[in-house]
Structure 1
Amino acid sequence: MNVNEVISICRTHLLPVLPEFYSLEGYEFQLIPAHEGGRNVVFSCNKTGSDADTDAKILRISFLADRNREDFLAELEYIRYLYDHGGSVSNVVSSNMGNLLEEFTHNYHTYYICMFEKARGKLLVENNYQYREGVPITEYYYNCGKVLGKMHQLSKKYTPVHSRYSFFDKYNAQYIDRLIPKSFTLLKEKMVDLLNSLKKLDKSRESFGMVHFDYSDGNYMIDYNTGDITVFDFDNSCFCWYMYDLANIWTHGVGWTQFEHDADKRKKFMEEYFATVLAGYKSETNIEIPMLDKLPLFINVTVMENIIDTFEVMRNNNEELEVDEELTYLIKCLEDDIPYKGFFHEIYSCEEPFEYVE
């Protein structure tokens, strides 16, 4: 079953009976185009005649068989916990029956339904990556770290009812061997070495817990009146090291200086950028220096995750194996032990960022 088939089923069979699940009288539904590899069908629900974000909702329909009811409940319960304890997240809307999750069955296939308050503001990309007029961009860097720090601090006290999977439940040697073709022998060896390095790290509540696992500017809105950030899309959330989310912030920060020719200037920018992120983060929670020193290791973990995700998309879409310039670049970084996603290495080209050009 592909996304277009699911969209047709949702329009024809689910939306007409949606009032059984949620009170959405006077709302119009607009399909939000899925990104490549998307695992859900998502609609924006806007009240007729109202432009207020406070009235808008987001409807998510999940259809792939890679997750079960327990997985979804664990995700939604975590979001509700964060919201109830002051986390800046898009809250889950309970159904008319008081449930966080509902199910819809059509032709013996089960679809999982949930509803969220729409986060206030805009994505950075919707504002052409321009920040608030008259306000230094460092405010954004600081707030980005602060919001994440608050979520991690709350995670340190979180005891789930339904538990999400842990990092090694998915990222392990057996899964890598099944997913990655045999021709990538060295890549698979490097990934296993990376996993073995992670297994040696501390997994106390201060360093390991529920994380977003995709914390980036595509998954939070910015209120351009206040600078407030509201996080959404916890679809990949799992138990992992908090340092992973911080490394992910680092990897997305390169976009601010990716066209700079001078590697030393890129490095200086990234040091200042990440220091500002950490200042915001540490205003909400603590992180030990030994774990911060593992930043290069966790940047490699984000590279590994990107590679695995690309192979998963090709598999789920039944696509032939295609190793393009971007995937080749990531693979070479791991295979050749090039740190920091190659951003300060001669492999990097500011004309073709993060693409391998021989």
Structure 2
Amino acid sequence: MYIKVNEAVKNIDALILPMASVLYGLEGYACKPANAHEGGRNVVYVCEKGGEAAAVLRIAFLQDRTREDFLGELEFVRYLFEHGGSVPDVVGSRQGNLLEEVAHDHHTFFICLFQKAAGKTLAENQYRYREGAPMTEYFFNCGKVLGKLHQLSKGYTPSRRRYGFHDKFNADSIEKRIPGSLPLLKEKMLDLLKALEELDKNREAYGIVHFDFNDGNYAIDFATGQITVYDFDNCCSCWYMFDVASLWTNGTGWIQFEPDAGKRRAFMDAYFKTALEGYKSETGLGDALLEKLHLFIQVNLMESIMDAFEVMRNNGEAPECNEALSYRIKCLEDDIPYLGFFHDIYACDEPFEHDKRTI
């Protein structure tokens, strides 16, 4: 049974949070719920003491992940931190455990604690970068921090298996999640899976990736420009190019209201060149892999579409397409590259939206 975030918060606030506070020694801290998002799988609290945020407590309430899944994530994050990755460390419990679990009313809650990342998100800073510094510094640093994480991942040998891309994205999951009224979409997704089967999975191309790399999942120290990446909840074994495609996509927001497609393309070329320079300053990325950028932007689209339908299904809602989801589906069905950002489908007054479609 799927539990919505808002419903889970009520029970967790009253029953699970006090137990978690004891397990992690958080007595005397003010634990405030972070803003939840639709389809969330965790309840997150920012833990403050003396008015300063010190830690982030995460309580998972869905039963879609096992203890081994969580430990696979937390051990990877601890490895990244210990080897110089710009991530918050995992804080052990009073018993020295990276993960604790609490059972209540035949339901298991998995609990972990992280250091609070220094700085703020771009949204919290009204999408302004640090005063006096050019945006190219930010673009470079975005690539650099991701490149460092990938370089460390290339040297990581997990003691516990973290699930892989094809465990969640396969013919069976497409059939299960995508409505039968969208046969062309299913066909295009299966074509993407076939294209991926032809790619190498060597250590330089394939490893554990963040899988949700965007400006909502890292904080920026606006005094130094340092970026600290968090929320590895979706991390999995995949091609590094999946994250690199996310890096490209992240740039569209800076120019999405520009009516001239030529100017949008020129900006994206310059943005991505700078971001890649940052990325390559930390790890290798050959031309053969970069040639797959369009493919992995489409794979990003596939992931977002499947996630949208999964959330509806888990919420017990009938599948429907709003304007944003219709846009993504259109790009995938019609093989429109680069999110349609340079195509006639794109409208700068309603970025990444398309007429609703009936399912």
Q: Distance in 2 between matches of 1:19 and 1:182?
A: 46
Q: For residue 98 of structure 1, what is the aligned residue in structure 2?
A: 96
CA contact (8 A) 2:179 2:319 kept: no
- Distance, in Å, in 2 between the alignment partners of 1:189 and 1:16 is 49
Return structure 1 stretches of 4+ with deviation > 4 angstroms.
none
* 2:20 is the counterpart of 1:18: yes
Tell whether 2:180 aligns with 1:182: yes
Unaligned segments of structure 2, at least 5 residues: none
1:240 is aligned to 238
For 1:39, the aligned partner's letter is R
Structure 2 Cα separation of the partners of residues 250 and 140 of structure 1 = 14
| Among candidates 99, 114, 117, match of residue 116 of structure 1 | 114
Q: In the alignment, which of 247, 251, 257 is matched to residue 255 of structure 2?
A: 257
Which residue number corresponds to residue 46 of structure 1? 48
- In structure 2, what is the equivalent of residue 78 of structure 1? 76
Report the Cα distance in structure 2 between the residues aligned to 1:193 and 1:313, rounded to whole angstroms: 24
Opposite residue 204 of structure 2, the aligned amino acid is E
3-state secondary structure, aligned to 2:202: coil
> Cα deviation per residue 1:258-284 (whole Å; 9 max; x = unaligned)?
011111110011011000000000110
Taking the aligned partners of 1:338 and 1:116, their CA distance within structure 2 comes to 40
**Equivalent position SS for 1:46:** strand
In the alignment, the residues of structure 2 paired with residue 19 and residue 224 of structure 1 have an alpha-carbon distance, to the nearest angstrom, of: 31
Aligned-residue RMSD, C-alpha = 1.1
- Alignment coverage as a number of residue pairs: 354
Could you report, residue by residue, the CA deviation over 1:277-305 in whole angstroms, capped at 9, with x for unpaired residues? 00000110001110001100100011111
- Paired residue secondary structure (1:60): strand
| Aligned partner letter, 2:164 | S
Other structure's SS at 1:192 match: helix
Cα distance in 2 for residues equivalent to 1:209 and 1:181: 31
Q: What is the CA–CA distance in structure 2 between the aligned matches of 1:185 and 1:17, rounded to whole Å?
A: 48
Residue equivalent to 1:340:
338
Shift of 1:2: 3.1
Match of 1:193 among 191, 194, 205: 191
CA distance in 2 between partners of 1:258 and 1:13 (Å)? 44
* CA deviation after TM superposition for structure 1 residue 190, in Å: 0.2
Residue identity opposite 1:264 in structure 2: G
Return the alpha-carbon distance in structure 2 between the equivalents of residues 18 and 302 of structure 1.
35
Q: Give the aligned partner of residue 285 of structure 2.
A: 287
Match of 1:230 in 2: 228
- 1:93-136: CA deviation from partner (whole Å, max 9, x where unpaired): 00111110000010111000000001000000111111011100
1:300-352 superposed Cα distances (whole Å, 9 cap, x missing partner): 01111110111011011111222111111111101111000100000000010
Once the two structures are TM-superposed, the CA of residue 8 in structure 1 deviates from its matched residue by 2.0
**Residue type of the alignment partner of 2:43:** V
Find the aligned partners of 1:20 and 1:293 in 2 and give their Cα distance: 51
The structure 1 residue matched to 2:6, chosen from 4, 7, 18, is 4
1:357 Cα offset (Å) = 4.3
Q: How big is the shift at 1:66?
A: 1.0
The Cα shift of 1:17 comes to: 2.5
For residues 95 and 7 of structure 1, the distance between their equivalents in structure 2, rounded to whole angstroms, comes to 22
Structure 2 residue corresponding to 1:87, chosen from 85, 98, 116: 85
Q: CA deviation at 1:18?
A: 2.7
User: 1: CA distance between counterparts of 2:295 and 2:174?
Assistant: 18
TM-fit CA distance, 1:6: 2.1
Candidates 311, 315, 320, aligned match of 2:318: 320
Structure-1-length-normalised TM-score: 0.97
Match of 1:145 in 2: 143
C-alpha separation between the residues in 1 aligned to 2:290 and 2:19?
Answer: 50
User: 1:170-195 CA distances to partner (integer Å, 9 max, x unpaired)?
Assistant: 10011101111111000000000011
TM-score (norm 2): 0.97
Secondary structure of the structure 1 residue equivalent to 2:305: helix
Matched, 1:29 2:31: yes
How many Å separate the matches in 2 of 1:201 and 1:226?
38
Q: What is the rounded CA distance, in whole Å, between the counterparts of 2:185 and 2:5 in structure 1?
A: 31
Alpha-carbon distance between aligned partners in 2 of 1:314 and 1:128, rounded to the nearest angstrom:
30
Q: C-alpha distance in 2, partners of 1:151/1:7? A: 32
Moved more, 302-311 or 7-16: 7-16
What percent of counterpart residues are identical? Answer: 60
